[in-house]
Structures are given as C-alpha cells and as structure tokens.
C-alpha cells in the first residue's frame, strides 16, 4: 500500500509540474530587468524600491512577501506596505540567510543570531511579541545559521556554522556529520559548516559542505566528492529538479548536475578562470538559473547555457537568490535590491 501511495504521490507531483509549466510564461535570457537602479521612473511593485542587499525571498500562504537582508533584518510586504523589522522591532538577527514557511503558517528565519520564528497566531502582523528567537542557550551548536529545510514529520532541519540541528518544536538535537576540511578562501567557515540542506523526492537528505555533498537515506551516510565526479568539494547549494536530477552550485568550479550515477559539468569557467556559484534555481518551466561570481546570470534550458539580462544598465548583477511567485513573476535578489524579470 505504501508503494502505491508513493507512486501516486510522484505522479501527482509530475502532473502538477506539467500544469504549472503549461500555464507559465518562459522568461527569455533577453528579458529586461526592472528594479530600483534600472532607470524605470515608477517601479511596478513597491518592493522594487528596496535598495538593500537581499539574501532571501518567500511568499507565504496569505500572499505576503518576506525579504531577508544582509545586515538590515527582515522586510515584510503586505497590503501594499513594506515594513522593516530589526532589533528595535523584536527581530534579533540582522543577517537573514534563509526563510521557510511551515505548514501551520509559522515563518522561520535562519540568521546570524540564531533561529527566529514568527507566529501569526500571536499577531497577524509582525510585532515584537510575535517573534521568538532560539540560540545556543536553547540547544543550537552555533548562532550563525545558513539554511532551513522541513521534513515530512514537520521537523525543522537547520544548517549552519556549527553543523546540523533538528528541531521538533520543543527541543534541538544534533545530527552528526564528519568534520570537513576548512576552505581558506571563505570568510565565514568551520570544519562543521553546512551551507544547504535539501530533501529530495525520495526523502533523502542532502548536505552541502566544504567536504563535498553528504546524503542521508535514513540509515546510512554517503559522501560525494571530486573523486566521484563532483565538480568541486566546496558546495554552496543543492537542488533536485523536476526530473529527479541533482544540481550542485560550487564555490570554485561552477555548476554540475548528477543524472543517475553520471555527473555532467554545466558551466565552470569564463576566460579560463574558475567561477563561484552561490545559488541555483529552477523555474516552473524547468529552466535552471544560476549566477557565476555574482555578476553573470545564466539560464540552462535543458540543452544549452545562455547568458541572461545583458546588456542591461542596472547596477546590481550580484544576484544571490531567485524566486517565482504565485503570479508567475520571476524575482532576482541582489546586493542592491530586487529585480523583476519582465
């Protein structure tokens, strides 16, 4: 019965992706970017007026947007109004690296000051009383957090400078990974650092570290490194696409994808220099987007890699995240604010 249920679940996922792709308009590499620095007099969305480094974006169940920043807390957009939340408003972390919404509507933030929770049952709009922060005093191994993921048991997996923690809503427990070599090129690192956690469609959990990628299948731990075909041991992000292939964004050798047991290098160099890739994103059409060295954006359409958004005239091509909202709009977050692909 479990096998039948699992197969049905995967079929429904595939149908959902197909319906999204059919109703979604493809964003071409030649598309114009609209933002605060793009020269447009009246931005079509108030968030485009934000001129701060944006590091994370989500749209919650109510349709509100949350924007994480590097150094300026979190920004909430609701009812056509942008509201800034920092220490003065009860939000503890000034650097927000990841945002996740749980099925119960609570919003979780991975910050440089620990794990922060927004509880909409306390206050529908964010207020000091609706934010709660967990740190090393509560059981986290380190307050510098990088990433969040939720499993099917509604347990929150948290990756950061001190490794991996699991939070069940009451207490934290540590998930032990082998220590990895420190990458001296990184400004913030440790032998326990985990920069991304991804749970795939088979419920395997992937961890991005400076010692390659680790995979936990519920009973055993596997390590994938350069020796096994990975393009670089310093992994920044991991993505499972809608076809079940696993993508890796790496610090020193661009992007590669694992299809079955075979690795393929997608893009690693420009002008002979290895490039750093911080994020990787799949839109509803199945196109893969990523940025190399922060200033060159690429789109992979399944057969070829194309440079995107050039020439533009906007100041910031240093994109750190991409996000597709419920209105099918494709957002790019950078060091100088937000951009919308027209």
Average pLDDT along the chain? 86
The predicted pLDDT at position 244 comes to 97
C-alpha span between 12 and 21 (Å, rounded): 14
The predicted pLDDT at position 128 comes to 74
CA angle (157, 164, 143) in 5-degree steps: 95
Q: Which two tokens stand for residue 87?
A: 């220490």
The predicted pLDDT at position 49 comes to 86
What distances in angstroms separate CA 265 from CA 54, 232, 245, 254, one per listed residue?
28, 10, 13, 8
Confidence category of residue 314, pLDDT binned at 50, 70, 90: low
What distances in angstroms separate CA 29 from CA 25, 239, 288, one per listed residue?
13, 21, 12
> 88, exposed or middle or buried, with CB in 10 Å at 0-12, 13-18, 19+?
exposed
Is residue 215 pLDDT above 50, yes or no?
Answer: yes
Confidence category of residue 155, pLDDT binned at 50, 70, 90: very high
Q: Which of 26-30, 149-153, 205-209 has the lowest mean pLDDT?
A: 26-30
CATH architecture of 2-341: 7 Propeller (2.130)
DSSP conformational letter for 210: B
Is residue 248 pLDDT above 80, yes or no?
Answer: yes
**Mean pLDDT to the nearest integer, 183-211:** 96
**Does the bond joining 311 to the residue before it have cis omega, within 30 degrees of 0?**
yes
C-alpha span between 153 and 173 (Å, rounded): 15
Q: What are phi and psi of 136, to 5 degrees?
A: -65, -25
Where do the structural domains in the chain lie, given as residue ranges?
2-341
Nearest Cα to 10, choosing from 296, 244, 317?
Answer: 244
Is residue 12 pLDDT above 50, yes or no?
Answer: no
- Tens digit of each residue's pLDDT (9 = 90 or more) over 47-90: 988 889 999 999 999 999 999 999 999 999 998 999 999 888 88
- Tens digit of each residue's pLDDT (9 = 90 or more) over 280-295: 999 999 999 998 876 6
Q: Which residues contact 7 (CB under 8 A, 6 or more apart)?
A: none
């Amino acid at each position: 019965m479990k096998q039948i249920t699992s197969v049905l679940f995967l079929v429904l996922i595939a149908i959902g992706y197909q319906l999204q792709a059919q109703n979604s308009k493809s964003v071409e590499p030649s598309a114009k970017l609209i933002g605060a620095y793009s020269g447009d007099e009246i931005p079509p969305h108030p968030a485009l007026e934000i001129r701060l480094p944006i590091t994370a974006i989500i749209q919650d169940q109510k349709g509100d947007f949350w924007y994480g920043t590097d150094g300026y807390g979190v920004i909430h957009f609701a009812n056509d109004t942008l509201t800034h939340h920092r220490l003065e408003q009860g939000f503890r972390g000034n650097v927000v690296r990841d945002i996740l919404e749980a099925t119960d509507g609570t919003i979780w933030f991975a910050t440089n000051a620990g794990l922060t929770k927004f509880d909409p049952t306390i206050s529908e709009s964010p207020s000091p009383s609706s934010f709660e922060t967990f740190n090393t005093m509560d059981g986290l191994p380190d307050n510098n957090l990088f990433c969040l993921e939720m499993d099917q048991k509604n347990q929150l997996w948290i990756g950061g400078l001190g490794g991996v923690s699991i939070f069940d809503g009451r207490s934290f427990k540590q998930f032990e990974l082998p220590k990895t070599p420190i990458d001296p090129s990184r400004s913030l690192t440790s032998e326990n650092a985990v920069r991304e956690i991804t749970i795939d469609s088979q419920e395997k959990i992937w961890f991005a570290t400076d010692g390659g990628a680790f995979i936990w299948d519920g009973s055993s731990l596997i390590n994938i490194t350069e020796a096994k075909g990975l393009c670089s041991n310093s992994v920044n992000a991991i993505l499972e696409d809608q076809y079940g292939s696993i993508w890796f964004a790496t610090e020193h050798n661009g992007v590669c994808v694992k299809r079955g047991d075979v690795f393929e290098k997608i893009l690693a160099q420009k002008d002979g220099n290895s490039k750093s890739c911080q994020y990787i994103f799949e839109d509803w059409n199945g196109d893969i987007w990523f940025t190399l060295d922060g200033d060159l954006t690429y789109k992979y359409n399944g057969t070829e890699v194309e440079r995107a958004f050039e020439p533009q005239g906007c100041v910031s091509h240093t994109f750190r995240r991409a996000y597709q909202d419920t209105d099918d709009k494709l957002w790019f977050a950078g060091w100088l604010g937000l951009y919308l692909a027209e």
